[in-house]
Amino acid sequence: MKTAVSITRYFGSFILLVGISLNVKMYFFNERPTYMFTILSFFGALLIGISYLMKPKVKSK
């Protein structure tokens, strides 16, 4: 489960950075605003938050 937590955290960070960079690109080139990039950034932040709430399973001996 520890790998699932780290994969979720890294994927969330990647999605968040992609969303932020696309938002900056949109404002820099004066493109038509869409909420897709904002939703993408929110989804990345949500994944990072979920990864901190996930608890690793305790291995039974």
- Does 58 map to a domain? no
pLDDT for 61: 63
How far is CA 19 from its chain centroid?
Answer: 9
What's the whole-model pTM score? 0.76
- Does 60 map to a domain? no
Number of domains in the chain: 1
How far is CA 11 from its chain centroid?
Answer: 6
pLDDT tens-place string over residues 12-45: 999 999 989 988 888 888 888 778 888 889 999 9
Chain position carrying tokens 């493109």: 31
- Does 59 map to a domain? no
Q: Which domain holds residue 26?
A: 2-53
